[in-house]
Structure 1
Amino acid sequence: MNAMTTPPAGHRPGHVPVMLAEVLAMLQPRDGAAYLDGTFGGGGYARAILSAARCTLWAIDRDPAAIRRGHALQSELRAQEGETRLHMIHGGFGDMQALLQARHVPALDGVVLDLGVSSFQLDEVERGFSFRTDGPLDMRMDDTGPTAADIVNTMAESDLADVIYEYGEERLSRRVARAIVAARAQAPILTTFQLADIIRSVVPADRSGIDPATRSFQGIRIHVNDELGQIAAGLDQALGLLAPGGRLVVVSFHSLEDRLVKQALNRAAGRLPAPSRHDPRAMQARAAAPSYRLLTTRALRPGAAECHANPRARSARLRAAERLPLPDITDNQPERRP
């Protein structure tokens, strides 16, 4: 399937929602249905879903800047239609169940999640997500909690090495952590350029062309925002919130995210590893009929044209599943004798 490479009309230039055509094909928006965009970001998916069908969309984001963009889209839709079918919620998608229940939202017909850092966050120098330009070492997706500067200037060397290794998949994590601790003993590390230069001093460039600081920045960012915890919680809750026939569509951008998505969807579809015969609970779960079917047996990848037009799409992976109809319990009732 070829990826859509042009953004919807009225969309901000430079912000292109990744694998948009594939997301819409999997989600199949329809009139009268209710959907959730758990990672509103720049609103690319939200706008496209609302344009594809006369539906209602709830949108969550932990970033106050994204919420402001959502309110602007609400005003635009209200001016066009006399009403808005978009409802914004400030919070993390890992708390979607409580956030939606507090607003008495019924079962959903579809959920879409676009994982990781958004293009807006990468492009805003003051957010400190990117080392392409110098900015404060922040990396928070919201405006609360410890910053990346707090982490690199206070965390114990061994813990810092573990964060960079486990979340950044940097094999030289101990060397990086040692260099950071040595540098902060001389002066606090406060900017993205400072941290990137420290990492580059101990991690040699390789043939991939990826900047040596990339993996360490990823690891620290994931830790700052508890991204994997949010993903695990969000996937579990999204699967529980869908109505029969509802669909979950997830776009991820690196192996740690994709692994969590793959495992969650496989469990929901009954594709579990063989359980131990000594664990009766696992055997019972294995025997239970699956409540989901996979729409993607393998992750979908963006097309060559999209990758060329939008280099940020190159690492994207899309997986999707559909909730099966509830079993008809009358079929299993014993026949009553007169």
Structure 2
Amino acid sequence: MIPESEVSFAGSFLDRADRLRADDEAMHIRFHKGSLALPFWWGKPLFELTQEGPRLVWLSTDDPLVADSCGDSVFMGLDDAGRAHFATDVSHIAPPDQQPAEFVDRRTLALSETRKFIDLRSIMGEIDHRDAGIAAAAKGVFEWRRTHGFCANCGHRNRLVHSGWRMECPGCGRQHFPRTDPVVIMLVLDHDRVLLGRSPLWPERMYSLLAGFIEPGETVEEAVRREVMEEAGIEVDEVRYVTSQPWPFPASLMIGCTGRAVTTRIERDPAELEDAIWVSRSEVERALSNDHPDITLARPGAVARVILRSWVDGVVAGVGSSASARVG
């Protein structure tokens, strides 16, 4: 098992305090009495750029930037002192980004030389662990709100309730909750080799672990086996859980597993992968050190890189023995 502290976006220093979310009047009072708010602009949280790295900017809720945003805020929880923390949408302060983002969105909106709205994906390897978990949760909720404004049952516009964590339809009464899409990502091993794949949309030379969405009615283990067979034509038998990572791009939960390869001949689905290869542990170690001529790995903060590092370091081992793996 990999400690949560090693995985970006996992963990938080706040008690989510769901028990308090239903009391709208009490939450309104709490917002205006010594609470803190984290501003978001079009899905990007506000960071202070310090010598130690980027840190989230928590403003007093009477700060002019957030003071009028109580109704659009999300209650994130209580700290150890019982002080409430909110995330607030301040997208009204400037138009959204107009140009399409690259693979990593490095566009920002600056309030000062050191305070900027920055996309989480672009700096996820630099963010303090406890900051990252809160920012990911808030980003996920705001993205859900942006895309689920109308009731899927009857078409009425939804209204926010439960301190920003739920929507209700005034037309039919249907309740709507933030969605999370489960995704398996797998360390598929054959002896001392790991299976890596490459999407045609990725930067040049980038490879990573295979991954895919869990389908209705599937277990995690079944999803691992199906996805590896569909994408690379490799049969997998034993599967074990390793770690997980909230992935707010836009709303996934990455479920990391190890899987034992029973076959080794790759039959790649060109619609899914541009390339798929078996890579030795020593080659992965070189790639993690940015010393491989042909392979770069997922950037720091991505769970794929965490799992690969843990495998190279011996923290994560394969399942059972792959001595019986066969070609074909």
TM-score relative to the length of structure 2? 0.26
Hey, which of these two has a bigger chunk of helix by percent? 1
Hey, which of these two has a bigger chunk of strand by percent? 2
TM-score relative to the length of structure 1? 0.25
